[in-house]
């Protein structure tokens, strides 16, 4: 089957070329009306956008075949990540492709502000010679505050240090050692606001960063500060910029991003202020950057769909781990185990307790996602996969607890599930035996081996002569052939758990027939 990819927003042509080389059918549409997109989106398995197209919950509901949405760039404000996760759609971005271009644009805006370059250019083109009016200031010897020291922020810091600036920064994920390597002094945001002559932000738009600069915190800001934002619109409160410029709180503002893009008339009125330098979201708009992100996202999407790699995954940590060779056998075990458990668990089960022992304990999060993926399949109408399995489980009130155990067991690697006190079979353990060999090895303390494949019958029975003959005879009477069997015994209490795998699917009457055998009870059937 050929996968179909839809490329929107004028993504560089190299993206389509690479996807075609990888066997995709590619449709390129630089501009598309929302109603037209709604109509065709169900045909596609992958799509690539820049910042114009909005990936909404409504659109994702129509994208029944969608597996991957790729953002040719960094920001994913136009993609509803929660909705994508709910629908099992992987979202990827290209965090490295536009690093240099955005860092350079930021530095350019810092210099443009300092030397009044845009206004001076406009003045001279208007046939005026206003040298004194556009007296500038040097950046050398000034202090630059950088909030967000990721790839872009750290590149800005390095470049502006070369201009002789002192750089101070804030980033909750950057160590003091890493900051010291860059020559950046780390401090809290309020301290930066009080000390910085220039402030540039390189963070996502979050509850914490929205309105980071506004009239509310004007008293914390060093008088005469210059502001630059090439990150996300809304980090600076746009409506407060003009009064802060007029009152001298700020000396100048440079914006490349806006709370609404293209800017509304209200925002454009603000941008007309002479103290504001503005560009139309050009941070990543270089030939080099657009080529890089288009090439990167094409390779990432093809690799993801072909299960070769998941670089740039934003909502699929589990999927990103799924190609790890050590993890793969445990993933298969967990998914099969989950499918089997879903068929023997009590109705309306509200809690799953999972214990991981041995190597699998190192990958508990992804294995739980795999187990829940198997467990929820057949229980929900939507696509269930490693991305959204936990969401579907938790949204239905299923509580998940995970424990990593170092306790010595008979088997070195073990996944153990407790289905709770209402379960007829409460505690089950499973392990991989080898390639494509996955088995349940314990049920409620009974040692047993059940291959997690095919048609499985499990029941409790009195441990006495003739029980095995009775059930095997009953199956033969209904023309059901036994493929394998395993028996776990409690000699002291004369109890046993017996498991058969059979060659054909069973129906309700088959199970009632077995359950009717004297001494047999708690019959369960699972089809894998």
Three-class SS state of 393: helix
Name beta bridge partners: 353.
401, 418
412-431 burial, b at 16+ Cβ within 10 Å, e below that, comes to ebbbbbbbeeebbbbbbbbb
Options 17, 261, 402, 449, the catalytic residue: 261
Three-class SS state of 507: coil
Q: Taking the alpha carbons of 81, 83, 88, 89 in that order, is the dihedral positive or negative? A: negative
Answer yes or no: 39 catalytic.
no
Give the single-character DSSP code of 226.
E
Contacts of 272 (CB under 8 A, 6+ apart): none
Options 170, 281, 363, 392, the catalytic residue: 281
| Residue 364 backbone phi and psi in degrees, to 5 | -60, -40
Cis-peptide, bond into residue 342, ω within 30° of zero: no
Q: Which of 193, 207, 263 is nearest to 235 (CA)?
A: 207
Q: What is the DSSP string of 101-148?
A: HHHHHHHHHHHHHHTTHHHHHHHHHTT---TTTT-----TT-EEEEE-
Options 71, 232, 390, 392, the catalytic residue: 232
d(CA 372, CA 399): 11
d(CA 178, CA 494): 66
Name beta bridge partners: 278.
255
Q: Taking the alpha carbons of 126, 129, 132, 137 in that order, is the dihedral positive or negative? A: positive
Answer yes or no: 281 catalytic.
yes
d(CA 334, CA 369): 9
d(CA 447, CA 429): 10
d(CA 177, CA 96): 22
Residue 54 has, within 13 A of its CA and on its CB side, a CA count of 8
Query: Is residue 526 within 8 Å of residue 513, measured between CB atoms?
Result: no
Distance of CA 257 to the CA centre of its chain: 24
Q: What is the DSSP string of 149-180?
A: -SHHHHHHHHHHHTTT-EEEEE-TTS-HHHHH
Answer yes or no: 232 catalytic.
yes
Q: Which of 123, 16, 113, 27 is nearest to 72 (CA)?
A: 16
Catalytic residues: 232, 261, 281
């Amino acid at each position: 089957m050929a996968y179909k990819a839809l490329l929107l927003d004028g993504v560089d042509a190299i993206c389509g070329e690479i996807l075609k080389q990888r066997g995709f059918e590619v449709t390129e549409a630089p501009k598309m009306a929302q109603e037209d997109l709604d109509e065709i989106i169900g045909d596609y398995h992958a799509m690539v956008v820049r910042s114009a197209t909005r990936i909404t919950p409504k659109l994702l509901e129509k994208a029944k075949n969608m597996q991957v949405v790729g953002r040719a760039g960094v920001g994913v404000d136009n993609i509803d990540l929660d909705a994508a996760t709910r629908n099992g759609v992987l979202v990827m971005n290209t965090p490295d492709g536009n690093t240099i271009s955005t860092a350079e644009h930021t530095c350019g805006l810092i210099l443009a502000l300092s030397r009044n370059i845009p206004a001076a250019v406009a003045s001279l083109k208007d046939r005026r010679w206003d040298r004194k009016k556009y007296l500038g200031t040097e950046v050398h010897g000034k202090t630059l505050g950088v909030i967000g020291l990721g790839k872009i922020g750290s590149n800005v810091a390095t470049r502006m240090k070369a201009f002789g600036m002192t750089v101070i920064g804030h980033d909750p994920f950057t160590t003091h050692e890493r900051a010291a390597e860059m020559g950046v002094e780390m401090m809290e945001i309020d301290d930066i606001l009080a000390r910085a002559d220039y402030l540039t932000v390189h963070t996502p738009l979050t509850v914490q960063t929205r309105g980071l600069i506004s009239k509310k915190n004007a008293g914390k800001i060093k008088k005469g500060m210059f502001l630059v934002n090439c990150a996300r619109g809304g980090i600076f409160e746009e409506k407060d910029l003009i009064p802060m410029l007029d009152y001298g709180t700020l000396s100048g503002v440079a914006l490349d991003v806006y709370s609404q893009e293209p800017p509304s008339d209200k925002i454009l009125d603000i941008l007309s202020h002479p103290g504001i330098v503005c560009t139309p979201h050009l941070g990543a708009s270089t030939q080099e950057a657009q080529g890089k992100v288009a090439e990167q996202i094409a390779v990432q999407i093809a690799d993801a769909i072909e299960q070769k790699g998941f670089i740039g995954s934003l909502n699929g940590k589990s999927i990103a781990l799924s190609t790890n060779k050590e993890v793969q056998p445990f993933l298969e075990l967990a998914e099969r185990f989950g499918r089997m458990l879903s068929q023997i668990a009590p109705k309306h089960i509200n809690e799953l307790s999972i214990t991981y022992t041995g190597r699998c304990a190192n990958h508990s999060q992804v294995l739980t996602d795999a187990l829940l993926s198997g467990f929820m399949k057949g229980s929900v109408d939507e696509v269930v996969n490693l991305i959204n399995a936990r969401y579907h489980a938790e949204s239905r009130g299923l509580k998940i607890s995970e424990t990593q155990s170092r306790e010595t067991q008979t088997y070195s690697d073990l996944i153990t599930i407790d289905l709770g006190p209402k379960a007829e079979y409460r505690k089950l353990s499973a392990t991989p035996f080898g390639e494509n060999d996955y088995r349940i090895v314990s049920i409620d303390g009974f040692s047993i081996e059940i291959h997690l494949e095919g048609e499985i019958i499990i029941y409790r029975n009195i441990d006495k002569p003739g029980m095995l003959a009775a059930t095997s005879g009953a199956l033969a009477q209904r023309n059901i052939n036994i493929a394998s069997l395993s028996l776990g015994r409690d000699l002291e209490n004369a109890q046993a758990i017996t498991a058969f795998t059979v060659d054909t699917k069973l129906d309700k009457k088959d199970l009632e027939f077995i359950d009717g055998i004297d001494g047999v009870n708690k019959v369960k059937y699972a089809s894998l």
